[in-house]
Chain A
C-alpha cells in the first residue's frame, strides 16, 4: 500500500511519508498482537504480548495527559494500581467469577475517579509543575498505604487469586467429537487463548476510545489549552474544568487497564502495579514513542518491552567482554540497563523532543 501511494505521488512531502510509515508500523504491531498466540507459541511471548497490550493503553492514556494536555502526572500507576487491586481484592474475597471482576473493577474505577477529581480540583488550578509534585506525593503515599494495610492488600507479597473459569487452562473452548480440545494452527483452543483475547480486545476498545477522544472537539480544545492556556481561557474555555476532566478520563482508563492486567496476571502486588519503576517505564515509553501522537505510545511500548529483553542480553555480553577493567563491568551489568536507557532518554529529550513518531510525522512536540 505504501508503495502505490508513494509511486502515485512522488512529490509527497516528507511529513506525509513519515505519517505513512508510522501508521503502517502501528498497524503491523496491531496485527502482530492480534495473532500473537498463533505467531509466537510459547508462554513467555504470550506474557510479553499481553503486557504490551495493557501498557499500550496505559501509555496512550498517559499521552492524553502529557502529550495532548501538557500536564505531567506521576500518579498514573496509582490509578492503574487502584483498578488492579479492586479486581484482585474482589476476586480473592468473592471467589473467581465475572461478578467479582465487575464489582472490583467498578469499585477501583470509581475510587480512581474520585481521587482524580480531588487531586485535580486541589492542584490543577496552580502551575503544572506544582501538579507534578502533588501527584508524585499522592502516588507514593498510596504505595505506602498498599504495603501497610496488608490484611487487605497482602502487603509487599501482594494477592494471588484465580481468574474466572473461562480463562482456566483446563477450559475447553472447542472440542472435537472425542471431547478433546481442538487445535487450530497448532494452538489449543483453551482458556489461555480466551484470556489473551479478553486482554487484547478490551485493550483495543480502550485504545480506540482514546483515539476517538483526541480526534473529538474535546481533543482540539485540549491542544489549544496546551499551546496557549491564556488564549484558551480568553476564548471562553474553562481551562481548569477541561484539565480536571481529562485527568479523570485518563485515570479511569488507567484503572480499567489495571483491572484487565489483574485478571490476566492472577496476581497483584506493589511491584506489578504501584511501583515507581512502572511510572518511569510509562514516561519513557510515551516520550520515546512521541508525545501527543497516540500511535507513538504503541511504538514506544513495543520498543521499550523489546529493549528490556534484548538490551539486557547485549549488556551481559559487554560486561563479560570488559570483565578485567574496573568499574566498567559494573556499569554494563544487565541490572544497570536503566542507566543507559536514562542517558538515551536525556539525549532524546534534547535532540528529538517529539519522539520517534512525532519526528517522523513532523508533528512538533513542544
Chain B
C-alpha cells in the first residue's frame, strides 16, 4: 500500500473529517504549552463554535433545499442580538435579581423574543424578498444584499450607532473552578444550547416524516415535487426555522460579547460564510463541523498569534477548498 493511501485509510479509521476538531485540539496543546490555558481556550472555542453553528445551520439548509443563498442572513443575527439586548435591559430588575427563577425568566424572554422575531422576519423575508427571485442567483444575491443594507440602516435608526451594553443574567455570570482551570458558566451554557439544537435538528431531519421530505428535497427537489409534495411550504418552514436560529445565535452572541454595535452582523456573516463553505452547503453536520473548527482555530490562533486570528480562518478555508472543493461534508454529492 502506498504511503498516501495508507495515511488516508488511517484517517478514515479514526473518524475521517469528523475527527478534525479533535486533531486540532491535540495539535494545539503543545503549541499553547499551559494545560489550564488550553482548557480555557478549548471551552471558549467550543462555545463560540456552537453559537456560530446556530447562525450557520439555517443558511446552509436553506441553500441546500432551495438553492437560495441569503446574503441578508446576517440581518437576522443582528436583529436577534439587539432585540435580546433590549429585552434584557427592559427586564433589568429580573436580570439583576437574586432569584434563579427570575433570572431564568429574563433569559428565556430575551432568547424567546429574538427567536420569535426571527420566525416572523423569516416569513416576511421569504415571502416578500426572496420568493419573486427563486432560481435566479444573480438577482437573489442582489436583492438579499439590498435587504441587508435596508436592515442594517433600520438597526442604526432604531438603536443608534454607538455600542450598546448587554446585561447578562446573574445566573450565567461568573465561572466555576476545577483544579487551576476556570470555566465560564456562559460558555458552558452556550455549548449545551448549541448541542441541544443540533440534536433536535438531527432528530427532526432523520426521524420524522417532515425531515425525510426535507432531506429528499435537498437531494432532488424536482422529484419530491413530482411526487406531489408542496415543497414551497416546506421551504418556508425551513427558512423561518433558519432565521429563528440565526436570531437565537445572535442573542447568545450578544450576551457573550457584552457590548454590541451595528457592525456585529457583518462580522459574524464572514464567519458564517467561512463555516458554511468549509462544512459543505446544505448539511447540518457539515455546519457543526465547520463551526467547531472555526471557533477552536480562532481562539487558539488569537492566543498564539493574536494578529492572525481572522486570517487563520481564511487560510483554513483556502486549505479545505484545495483539498475538498465542495466542503468537508456536503449534503449532495457532485
Contact = CB atoms under 8 A, between A and B. Distances in A.
8 contacts: A126-B326, A129-B141, A137-B270, A140-B270, A335-B156, A336-B153, A338-B149, A342-B147
B52 interface: no
Interface stretch (A144-152, A194-202, A254-262): A144-152
Interface string A124-162: 011111101110111011001100110000000000000
Nearest to A350: B132
B302 to A, nearest CB: 12
A122 interface: yes
B145 interface: yes
Contacts of B157: 327, 330-331, 333, 336, 339
B69 A129 contact: yes
Nearest to B153: A339
A346 interface: yes
Interface residues of A, number: 45
A123 B146 CA distance: 24
Given A70-B138, A126-B325, A141-B310, A136 B145 contact: no
Given A144-B310, A339-B154, A350-B143, A133 B277 contact: yes
Interface of A: 66, 70, 72, 118, 122-123, 125-130, 132-134, 136-138, 140-141, 144-145, 148-149, 276, 280, 283, 287, 327, 330-331, 333, 335-336, 338-339, 341-343, 345-346, 349-350, 353, 366
B281 interface: yes
B314 interface: yes
Interface of B: 63, 69, 71, 129, 132-133, 136-143, 145-147, 149-150, 153-154, 156-158, 266, 269-270, 273-274, 276-277, 281, 307, 310-311, 313-314, 317-318, 321-322, 325-326
Contacts of A144: 310-311
Contacts of B147: 342, 346
B325 to A, nearest CB: 6
Nearest to A66: B138
B273 A137 contact: yes
A339 B149 CA distance: 7
A345 B129 CA distance: 12
A339 B150 CA distance: 5
A136 B129 CA distance: 21
Contact of A141 (B133, B281, B314, B321): B314
Nearest to A128: B137
Question: Which of B132, B266, B277 lies at the interface centre, i.e. has the most chain A CB atoms within 10 A of its CB?
Answer: B277
Contacts of B138: 66, 70, 72, 128, 366
A245 to B, nearest CB: 20
Contact of A130 (B132, B139, B140, B281): B281
Given A133-B273, A137-B274, A349 B307 contact: no
A335 B155 CA distance: 13
Nearest to B150: A342
Contacts of B158: 327, 330
Nearest to B312: A141
Contacts of B136: 366
A136 B317 contact: no
B172 to A, nearest CB: 30
Given A137-B277, A333-B157, A339-B150, A122 B143 contact: no
Given A130-B281, A137-B270, A72 B326 contact: no
Contacts of A140: 266, 270, 310
